[in-house]
Amino acid sequence: MQTLTEKLYKNSIEDLNKKFSYKNSMAIPKLKMVSVNVGIKASESDNKTLAYLLSQISNITGQKAVLTKSRKAISTFKLRKDLAIGCRVTLRGKKMYHFLDKLINIALPRIRDFRGLSANGFNQSNHYSFGIKEHNIFLEVDLDNIPKLFGLNITVVTTAKTKEEALFLLKKINFPIK
């Protein structure tokens, strides 16, 4: 079964081709992957917090999360080498569309006073990155036993060549960019 985001993307291919007039159908921008990253302070990286973090990110994204560890020691941050400082998930294919569908249509509208995401989140590679301050906007989170709230960094990677193409593509799949 197709998700709403996947359906909107397939419908937007014609609009992209009309607006930017591609000579080759392979040049039409696509959604490549979505990367979800969570970082925590080194002082809070005990086993219980890490287990909770991994389970919540796995529940939210539908894919097992991978721990990220520090590469080198930094004494000012009380950080030792190989200390677990977060986790990340890279989503592609059906899981990516399922996560984007859930994010766009369910999670983001649950944010209090949400007026849309900033259009300044594009980097030089035309990938869109934004942050969410609290993970409890997702329905998979059990609100009764949350030991700690954490934020998410989400990056949507496209094959777009320009910022305008990437912005047009994301708006066509109902991404709430103002």
Beta-strand runs (E) in the chain: 31-39, 66-69, 84-91, 128-132, 152-158
Task: Report pLDDT for 63.
Answer: 94
Total Cβ atoms within 10 A of residue 164: 13
**pTM of this prediction?**
0.87
**Domain presence at residue 132:** yes
Interacting residues of 148 by C-beta distance below 8 A, sequence separation 6+? 44, 49, 52
**Domain presence at residue 110:** yes
**What is the per-residue pLDDT across 76-129, written as a single tens digit (0 to 9) for each?**
777 778 777 789 999 999 999 999 999 999 999 988 888 888 889 899 888 999
The boundaries of the domain holding residue 144 are: 4-173
Assign residue 110 the CATH number of its domain.
Answer: 3.30.1440.10
**Domain presence at residue 42:** yes
**Domain presence at residue 44:** yes
